[in-house]
Amino acid sequence: MAPPGPLRRAYDWTAAHTPWSAWAWRNTALVAASIPVAIPAVLAIAYTTSAPGHLFKTLGFVLLLCPLLTPLQRGRFWALTGVDIPKIQWPHPWYHPHGLLPRLRAESTWRQYGYHLLVSPLTALGGALVALGWATGAAFALVLSWAWALPLRLRPTGWTQDYVAFTVLGVLLLIATPWLAALIARLDTHAATILLGPNRARELERRVEDLAESRADILDAADLERRRIERDLHDGAQQRLVSLAMNLGIARATLTDLPPEARAVIDEAHREAKEAIEELSNLVRGLHPAVLEDRGLDAAISGIAARATFPVELTVDMPERPTPTVEAVAYFVVSETLANVAKHAQATRCSVQVRRRAQLLTIIVSDNGIGGADPAGGTGLLGLRKRVGSVDGTIRINSPHGGPTLITVELPCGL
Amino acid sequence: MRAVIAEDSVLLRIGLVKVLEMAGFDVAAEAGDADSLLKAVEDHRPTLALVDVRMPPGFTDEGVRAALMIRQQWPDTAVLLLSQYVEERYAADLLATQTGGIGYLLKQRVADVEEFIDALKRVASGGTALDPQVVAQLLLRRGGGPDPLERLTPREREVLALMAEGRSNAGIAAELVVSESAVAKHINNIFAKLDLPVADGDHRRVLAVLRFLDGGPA
C-alpha cells in the first residue's frame, strides 16, 4: 500500500481536529479542569497585587499547598489525557523527622512550586478563554444565525442584515476554539511533564543506584549460599568421611591376622576414603573456605600459597577486613591466578601482594614465567575478569610473550 | 597415661577414643566444648588433651584459646589440636608459650592411624607435631632481607621442613629413606648455614627452626 499523499494526510489531520471530534473535547476538558485547581494560586496572586506587604505569606501559602496541588494536577492529566506524570519518590513521608528538610531542599519541590504559581494560572486563563470561545461561538452561530432566515416581520426587533457577520464570526470561533484548546493543552502538558515529574537525569541516576544496590544484594546472597553449603559439607559429609577413613585405618592397624585379600580390600577402601576427603576439601575450598570466614584473607591466602608447588612470596597489608563479598572475590582472584601460574606459566617463583589503602584493595600477582597470558584465550582469565567486574573492580594483565606476567587487580571496598 | 578429648562431633569422638586407647592412653573424660574441656583438664590432670579447634558455641577458634590456657595453667598437660584447616598463626601462638608438648594437625590426618598414633605419643612425651601445611605456611612468612633458605640444598630444605613438623632423626630418615647418620649430617649443615648453635633435645630443634622462620620465640 502506497503511503498517503500530503493532501490526503492534511485532510485526515484536519478531519481529526474538527470541533466535533473527541480530540477537541478532550483538550477542552483538560484546560477547563485546570480552572478549579488554579484557584489558590490565582487568589494568592490577586492578594499579592492588592497587598504587596504580605508577599511572603501568600507565596508560602501556595508552597504549603504544593503536596495537595501536585496530585490533583497529576490526576487531571491522567484522567483526561492519559498522560502519566511519574510521582517523585521520597524515602520518608513529609511528617517524618527526615521527611521535610530534604523536600524543601529538593529542586523538584521548587519546580512544582513554579508550575502551581505561574503555569497553572496561565492555563486557567487559557481554559477560561476556551470556555468563552465555545460559548460565544455557539451563541453567535446558533442563537443569532436562524433570525435572518425568518420572514421580516417575525425577526427580533433591532435585527439587521449586519447580524449575519455575527453568525460567520460564531462559526469561525467554533472552528478556532479547538485549536486554541489544543495549543493550551499542549503547552500545559509539556510544562507539567517537565515541572511536576521527576528530573530524568536524576531518575536515571537513582535507577543506576538501585540497580547497583540490588546487584550487590544478589552477590551477597550468592556468597551467603556458598558459605552455607561449605558449612553443611564441613559439618556433615566431611566429618563422616574422616570418621570412616579413621575406622578403616583402625581396622588396617589392628586386624593384622586377616587373609591378604581382605587386607587388600581394607587398604583400598582406606585409600579411597582419604582421596574422597581430599577431593571434598578441594571442593569446599573452591566454594568458600572456612578459614576465609573465620580468619580473613591473610590466613586464607597463605593457605593457598603454602599449597602451591613453587615458592610464593606473600605480603598482606590489610589494617581492616573488607566485606565478605569483596573478601571472597579477592580470595578467588589469588587462588585462580596461582592456579593459572601453576598450569601455564612454567614459573619458578611468584609473588603475591595484597594491600588495602582506605577504600581500595589492591592485589598484585607477578611471576617469572613465560608470559603470554591472554584474557581472550583462556576461560580462567575471563572468569577472573567477570568476578572482578561483579564488584566494580578493575583488572590489568601485563604479560608479554617471554614473560614476566604481572596481574594487578583493584577492588573498591566502599559501598 | 591419661588423656581427655574435646570434639563436638560424636562420630569422630568415638573413633578418636579408639585410637587413643590403641596408643595406650586411658581416656578420662570426653568434652563437647571448651568450658567442659578446661574443667576436665583441671579434674583429671591428663598427660594429653586432644582438642578440636572449632567447637561450640562460636565454632571459630575456641580450641586454640583453650589450648593456650591449658599450656599456661597446667604445663604438664600436652595439647594436640585438630583443625579443619591450618592457620600458621595458631601454631605460632601456641609455640610462643612453649615449644614442647604441642601439636597442631589437620583433622584428616587421623585417617593415617599409625602416623597419628606416632604424633600423639610424640606430643604426650613433650615433643612437637606440626602439620606439613603449617610448616609450609610458616616458611612462607619468613621476614624480608637476604634469604638464608637460599643457602640450603633442596634435600636440606626437606630435612628442615620435617624437623619443623617435629620429627625425630629416625622419623626423618624413614620419611626420606636415608640413613640416620645422613640426617644428622644434614641437620648439622643446616645449623651451620643458618648460624645456629647445635643444641640437643627435640624441642630445641623446633625452637631453632622457628627462630629461623622469624616468627618464633627468641
Q: Which CATH number do you get for residue B44? A: 3.40.50.2300
A230/A214 Cα distance (integer angstroms): 24
B156 and B126 part of one domain: no
Helix (H, G, I), strand (E, B) or coil at A415: coil
B20/B2 Cα distance (integer angstroms): 10
pTM of the model: 0.64
A179/A1 Cα distance (integer angstroms): 32
pLDDT at A339 over 50: yes
Q: What is the pLDDT of residues A216-240, one digit of tens each?
A: 888 888 888 888 888 888 878 888 8
Which of the residue ranges A21-30, A175-184, B53-62, B108-117 would you say has the lowest mean pLDDT? B53-62
Which chain A residue's Cα is nearest to B112? A249
A348 contacts in chain B (CB < 8 Å): none
B81 and B154 part of one domain: no
Using CA atoms, how far residue A294 sits from A349, B18, B55, B208, in Å, is 29, 30, 13, 30
In chain B, the number of structural domains is: 2
Rg (CA), chain A: 40
Last residue of a domain, one of B84, B112, B131: B131
DSSP character for A119?
A: I
ipTM of this model? Answer: 0.78
Given strand A350-357, what is the order of strands in its sheet? A312-317, A350-357, A360-367, A405-412, A394-398
DSSP character for A156?
A: P
Is the CB of residue A270 less than 8 Å away from at least one CB of chain B?
A: yes
Closest CA–CA distance from residue A256 to any residue of chain B (Å): 13
Q: Residue B124: give the domain boundaries.
A: 2-131
Q: Which of A350, A339, A335, A333 is nearest to A404 (CA)?
A: A350
Mean pLDDT by 10 residues, chain B (218 residues): 89 91 91 90 93 82 88 90 85 77 90 91 88 80 56 81 82 88 86 65 61 48
List the grid coordinates of A337: 591466578
| CATH number of the domain encompassing residue B169 | 1.10.10.10
What percent of chain A has a predicted confidence (pLDDT) above 90?
Answer: 16
Closest CA–CA distance from residue A312 to any residue of chain B (Å): 7
Residue B215's pLDDT is: 41
B92/B85 Cα distance (integer angstroms): 15
Q: Which of A10, A34, A15, A24 is nearest to A183 (CA)?
A: A24
Is the CB of residue A290 less than 8 Å away from at least one CB of chain B?
A: yes
Q: What is the pLDDT of residues A74-129, one digit of tens each?
A: 888 888 888 888 877 777 777 777 777 777 777 888 888 888 888 888 999 999 99
A366/A243 Cα distance (integer angstroms): 41
Query: Is residue B137, in this structure, part of any structural domain at all?
Result: no
Scan residues 130-169 of B and list those with Cβ closer than 8 Å to A. 133, 136-137, 139-141
Helix (H, G, I), strand (E, B) or coil at A178: helix
Last residue of a domain, one of B102, B131, B160: B131
Last residue of a domain, one of B131, B156, B183: B131
Give burial (CB, 10 Å; 0-12/13-18/19+) of A318. Answer: middle
For residues A362 and A409, the answer to whether their CB atoms sit within 8 Å is: yes
Q: Crossing angle for the helix pair A163-196 and A107-114, nearest 10 degrees?
A: 170
B79 and B100 part of one domain: yes
pLDDT at A205 over 80: yes
B20/B48 Cα distance (integer angstroms): 10
Closest CA–CA distance from residue A302 to any residue of chain B (Å): 6
Give burial (CB, 10 Å; 0-12/13-18/19+) of B96. Answer: middle
